[in-house]
């Protein structure tokens, strides 16, 4: 394990351009539950996938918002802060690295840590938009009302969160592939790679055949075979070790 971490540290130090894929495991050290792990909240009630769908939003927007705020714990969102995993990625960028983060996370912690290039593949909890007129509203506005409506004159539609709901189109995939096209290293952290089409991005990197590919996750994934380096260990502990090796 130590030798493998040394090789990973060397690859990260040598690379000028790094594409990073992150999942819920990156935010767990900030106190945000990992919804998709084997112990995650999504396993408790699969009906959440129905309630967090665009179909249910348009069917019953009032009840949708009640469930959405509960499932995503929106009242607590501003209490969460970036952790040392987020800071590690920012540190890579500070060392003159071209680092682009492609994240499944919707909590905004990569931006809060200072990362300058973040693609929010599944959207963000920090904003909602009127589906009728396109006006955007902040999280503060969303939390001020049980059911947030558009305030534009003559509109009044119920706002739709900027999180990608089940059934929504993914709009960031081509942008993510373009980042991988230019990268020398693909670093994947804290994701089970369960969700499609996000889990196609490592396959795209493997197809290109020109990147060093690194997977760091707390448990095995079905995509581990795609990577040159695979670490199954606590992400926080692994990042601390990498940080020491790269000092």
Sequence-ordered list of residues with C-beta below 8 angstroms from that of 201, at least 6 positions apart, any chain? 21, 102, 173, 176, 177, 180
As a whole number of angstroms, the longest Cα–Cα distance in the chain is 64
Residue 98, annotated ligand binder?
no
Element (H, E) at 84: helix 84-94
Residue 93, annotated ligand binder?
no
Q: Kindly report the average pLDDT of the chain as a whole number.
A: 92
Looking at the DSSP bridge assignments, the partners of residue 163 are: 123
The pLDDT tens digits of the residues spanning 54-112 come to 999 999 999 999 989 888 877 667 889 999 999 999 999 998 789 999 999 999 999 99
**Is pLDDT above 60 for 247?**
yes
pLDDT at 236: 94
Pick the closest to residue 205 from 224, 230, 186, 233 (CA basis): 186
pLDDT at 75: 64
Structural domains present in the chain: 1-32+81-122+164-247 (3.40.50.1220), 37-79+124-163 (3.30.1600.10)
* Residue 40 confidence class, pLDDT cut points 50, 70, 90: very low
101 or 43, greater pLDDT: 101
Rounded percentage of the chain residues whose pLDDT exceeds 90: 81
Residue 133, annotated ligand binder?
yes
pLDDT at 35: 56
169 or 44, greater pLDDT: 169
**Is pLDDT above 50 for 38?**
no
The pLDDT tens digits of the residues spanning 131-183 come to 999 999 999 999 999 999 999 998 999 999 999 999 999 999 999 999 999 99
199 or 38, greater pLDDT: 199
Would you mind telling me the total number of residues written for the chain in this entry?
A: 247
Sequence-ordered list of residues with C-beta below 8 angstroms from that of 49, at least 6 positions apart, any chain? 42, 166
pLDDT at 48: 79
Catalytic residue among 122, 149, 173, 232: 122
Written as six digits, the tokens of 102 are: 């492609």
pLDDT at 31: 85
Residue 150, annotated ligand binder?
yes
* Residue 36 confidence class, pLDDT cut points 50, 70, 90: low
Task: Based on the residue annotation, tell me whether 110 is a catalytic residue of this protein.
Answer: no
Pick the closest to residue 126 from 157, 105, 153, 155 (CA basis): 105
pLDDT at 123: 97
């Amino acid at each position: 394990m130590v030798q493998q971490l040394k090789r990973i540290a060397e690859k990260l130090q040598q690379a000028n351009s790094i594409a990073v894929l992150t999942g819920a495991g990156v935010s767990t050290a900030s106190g945000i539950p990992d919804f998709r792990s084997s112990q995650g909240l999504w396993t408790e009630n699969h009906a959440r996938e129905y309630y967090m769908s665009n179909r249910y939003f348009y069917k019953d927007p009032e009840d949708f918002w009640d469930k959405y705020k509960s499932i995503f714990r929106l009242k607590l969102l501003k209490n969460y802060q970036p952790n040392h995993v987020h800071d590690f990625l920012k540190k890579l960028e500070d060392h003159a690295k071209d680092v682009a983060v492609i994240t499944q996370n919707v909590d905004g912690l990569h931006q809060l840590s200072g990362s300058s290039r973040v693609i929010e593949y599944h959207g963000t909890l920090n904003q909602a938009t009127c589906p009728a007129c396109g006006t955007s509203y902040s999280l503060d506005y969303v939390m001020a009302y049980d059911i947030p409506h558009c305030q534009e004159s003559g509109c009044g539609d119920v706002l739709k969160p900027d999180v990608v709901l089940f059934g929504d189109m993914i709009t960031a995939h081509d942008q993510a592939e373009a980042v991988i096209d230019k990268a020398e290293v693909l670093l994947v952290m804290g994701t089970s790679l369960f969700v499609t089409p996000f889990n196609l991005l490592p396959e795209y990197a493997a197809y290109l055949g020109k990147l060093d590919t690194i997977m760091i996750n707390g448990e095995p994934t079905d995509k581990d075979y795609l990577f040159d380096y695979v670490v199954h260990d606590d992400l926080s502990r692994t990042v601390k070790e990498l940080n020491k090796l790269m000092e």
